[in-house]
Amino acid sequence: MSDLPELWKKLSEGESKSLLKKHCTKEVYEKLKDKKSKLGGTLADCIRSGALNLNSGVGVYACDPEGYEVFKELLDPVIMDYHKVDKVEHPPCDFGPQDKLGFDPLDATGEFIVSTRVRVGRSHEGYPFPPVSTDEQRKDMENKTIAALNTLEGELKGKYYSLETMTPEENQQLIDDHFMFKNDDKMLGDAGGYNGWPKARGIFFNDNKTFLCWINEEDHLRFISMQKGGDVGEVYKRLVSAIKQLEKKLTFAYSKRHGYLTFCPTNLGTTLRASVHIKVPKLAKNEEVLNKICADNKLQPRGIHGEHTESVGGVYDISNKRRLGLTEYQAMQEMYNGIKEIIQAEKNAK
Ligand SMILES: Nc1ncnc2c1ncn2[C@@H]1O[C@H](COP(=O)(O)OP(=O)(O)OP(=O)(O)O)[C@@H](O)[C@H]1O
C-alpha cells in the first residue's frame, strides 16, 4: 500500500516554507498521484522527505532519472525556483580547454587556502534512485563501478574500500580527514538515501587520496578530486581526466533539458561543486560582509564539516552555487574569480 495519502495529508495540512509545499498544489497532486515511472517510481518517492520534514528547504527528490519527466509538473517549478531560472534548460557539457584553462594557483603563499576540492555527481543510466532501488540493484551498480574504476591507470589508479568491511575506526578517520561520507542527514534518510545501509556502499581512492569515488551515497556516483593548497587547475584537470576515462566504461543518466541527472534536483546540470577550505579570520569577524561577497559572486559558504555545519576558526568551505544552465567551465570560472575576490577582501580587511 502506498503511503501517499498520508504524506499528502501531512504536507497539505502542515505549515512549511519548502519548495515542495509551495509547488505541490492540490491540482498538481491530483494530476500526478496515480502516475508511475517505468522503474516503479511514484509521487510518494518524490515527496516523502519533504512531507515528513516540514522544515525542509526544498523537500523534493526524484524517484529515478525518468521521474524528472513523469513528475515534471512538480519538478520543473521546483527546479526553476531553486536554480532561479525561467526555463529548465542546460547547455551541452563543456569542461573548457584543458591546456589553457587560465586557473593559475590561487594564493601562492598558502596563507589562505587550506585545500581545494571539485566533485561531480553521476547516476547509472537505467537504474532508479535510492527510494526505488533494491539491495540487488545497488550491489549491481557497485560491481559495475568497481570494474570501471579498476581500469584507471597512472595517478588515478587506486583501490576500493567497502563500508561493509571497513572498521568503525577506519571509517571515522576517513570522515575526519574530509574524504568519506556519513549517514547523518535526516532529510536524505527519509528520502530513502540510506536504505539498506551500509550494503553496497564504499569509497575508492588513489594512493595520494587526490582522486576519490563515493559509491551509493546520495548519488550512485560522486567523483571527487582534491588536494592541499589552492591549485584549482590541477585539481580540476585531474577530475576531468577521470570523468573522461570513466565515461568510456559507464553510461550516465543524462537529459538534454537537465544535463546530468542526480537524485536531488539541486545538483542537476553540471552537478559540479568546486570548493576551497579557506582561512579568512578577518572576514569571519563580520560574516555579513563575507556573505555579501559570496552572494555577489554566486558563491555558497558552508562550515568545514559539510553542508549545514558552522565555520571553525575562521575557516569556511566556499564553493560555486550555480550548477544548472551553465557549462562546467563557467561554473569553475565563477568559483575561481569569486575566491580571488574573497582573498583580496581578506587582505584589505582591518
Ligand atoms: N575544499 C575542500 N577541502 C577539503 N575538504 C572538503 C572541501 N570541500 C568539501 N570538503 C569535505 O567534503 C566532505 C563532504 O562535504 P559536503 O557534504 O558539504 O559536500 P558534497 O560532497 O559536495 O555534497 P553535498 O553538496 O551533496 O552535501 C566534508 O567532509 C567536507 O569537509
Q: Which of 176, 239, 273 to mutate to test the pocket of ligand 1 (most atoms within 8 A of CB)?
A: 273
Which grid cell is 40?
Answer: 516503479
Tell me if residue 170 is catalytic: no
- Residues paired with 158 in a beta bridge: 206
Ligand 1 atom 7: residue of nearest CA: 117
What are the pocket residues of ligand 1 if the criterion is a CB atom closer than 6 Å to any ligand atom? 115-117, 119, 178, 218, 226, 273, 275-277, 302, 304-307, 317
Query: In this predicted structure, which of 101-105, 115-119, 190-194, 304-308 has the lowest mean pLDDT?
Result: 304-308
User: What DSSP element (H or E) covers 158?
Assistant: strand 158-162
The reported pLDDT for the residue numbered 162 is: 98
Q: Does the pLDDT value for residue 319 go beyond 70?
A: yes
pTM equals: 0.96
Q: Which of 119, 178, 184, 213 to mutate to test the pocket of ligand 1 (most atoms within 8 A of CB)?
A: 178
Which listed residue (201, 264, 323, 327) is catalytic?
Answer: 264
Q: 259 Cβ partners below 8 Å, 6+ apart?
A: 90, 93, 268, 269, 270, 271, 324
Tell me if residue 257 is catalytic: no
The reported pLDDT for the residue numbered 286 is: 87
Encoded amino acid at 264, one letter: C
pLDDT tens-place string over residues 54-64 = 999 999 999 99
% of the chain surpassing 90 pLDDT: 94
Tell me if residue 273 is catalytic: yes
Q: Does the pLDDT value for residue 1 go beyond 60?
A: no
- Residues paired with 214 in a beta bridge: 203, 222
More confident residue, 285 or 150: 150
pLDDT tens-place string over residues 261-289 = 999 999 999 999 999 999 999 999 888 99
Q: What is the mean pLDDT of residues 6-35?
A: 98
For the chain, first and last CA: distance in Å? 62
Region for 224 from its dihedrals, namely left if φ exceeds 0, alpha if ψ lies in -120 to 50, beta otherwise: beta
Q: Does the pLDDT value for residue 150 go beyond 90?
A: yes
Only one residue has cell 576551497, namely 276
User: What DSSP element (H or E) covers 234?
Assistant: helix 232-246
Mean pLDDT, the chain, integer: 96
- C-alpha 147 to ligand 1 mean position (Å): 25
C-alpha to C-alpha distances, 31 to 36, 51, 71, nearest whole angstrom: 12, 18, 9
% of the chain surpassing 70 pLDDT: 99
Angle of the 43-52 helix axis to the 72-83 helix axis, nearest 10: 50
pLDDT tens-place string over residues 290-316 = 999 999 999 999 987 766 667 777 899
pLDDT tens-place string over residues 214-223 = 999 999 999 9
Rounded Cα gap, residues 160 and 84, in angstroms: 38
The reported pLDDT for the residue numbered 287 is: 87
Q: Does the pLDDT value for residue 157 go beyond 70?
A: yes
Which grid cell is 277?
Answer: 577550505
Question: How high is the ipTM of this complex?
Answer: 0.98
Which is the closest atom of ligand 1 to the Cα of 224?
21
The reported pLDDT for the residue numbered 116 is: 97
Please enumerate, by residue number, every residue annotated as part of a binding site.
115-119, 178, 222, 273-277, 302-307
Angle at 146 between CA 230 and CA 212, to 5 degrees: 10
C-alpha to C-alpha distances, 56 to 22, 41, 323, nearest whole angstrom: 12, 21, 20
